[in-house]
Structures are given as structure tokens and as C-alpha cells.
Amino acid sequence: MDGGQPLLSPQEAQHLSPVLLAYVGDAIYELYVRLHYLLPPQRIQAYHRQVVGQVRAEQQSLHLQTLRQHLTEAESAIVRRGRNAATSAPKRVKVSVYQQATALEALVGYLYLTDPARLKVLWQYLVFCDSP
């Protein structure tokens, strides 16, 4: 979460499918959540419980709702592309919730690749509870 240099230009990232952006975003989102819970030191089971509680589709959907008011038009377009790319969902999750989670992951992937500093700014708006 250092806000480093972009890996791709926005134009290059626009050529990536929203599923691919979500694939990258899923990994980055989980890494950010893991880093969030890194301190204070605790047992690995406690880390795992906290992280799993935050990377669930339901929580990601809620986080997207928190961020919506802070998004630019271009970011909102990425969210729409990500949402529309999720056409099915695991049995335990409503399709609409899964679509929102995929949309958040696509946004995270897009910003990680094109504007890590912006991702860091948006990350500050999210609130993480300590219990799943």
C-alpha cells in the first residue's frame, strides 16, 4: 500500500477484461486486508478469522457501497463493467451481492494497476470490524 508507480496506463488497463481486473483486485484486496490486521501481533487463527470476515462477498459489497460517493466517473465505469461481468455466483451468495463484490475487485485491480496512490486514498474510507 505504498502508492507506488502505476504498472499500466489507464488506456492499457481499459483493454483488460473486467474479469481479469477482478482477478488481480481479489489478490490485492486480500493483501490489503491482511496488512490492515497485521498489528497488533496475534495468533494466526485470529488473523485468519478477521481476514476471512472481510474478504467475503457480502463485506466487499458493503465496502463498495461505502466507496460509491467517492468515485470518479471513470472509476464508476469500471465498477459497472465489473458488476456486469459477474453473471453467476456461488450458491451461498445472492447474484446481486456477488456482482457488487466482483465490481469492487475490478475497481481495486484497475486502480492497483493504474493509480496505486488513488487506491490508497479510497482504502482510507473503508471501515473494518474486528469480528467476522
Give the whole-angstrom CA distance, residue 66 versus residue 48. Answer: 24
Neighbours of 30 (CB within 10 A): 16
Cell 484497475, located at residue: 110
Cell 477482478, located at residue: 22
Neighbours of 121 (CB within 10 A): 13
Give the whole-angstrom CA distance, residue 65 versus residue 5. Answer: 27
Catalytic residue among 2, 26, 115, 130: 26
Cα separations in angstroms, 67 against 47, 76, 104: 25, 10, 9
Known catalytic residue at 115: no
Q: Which residues are catalytic?
A: 26
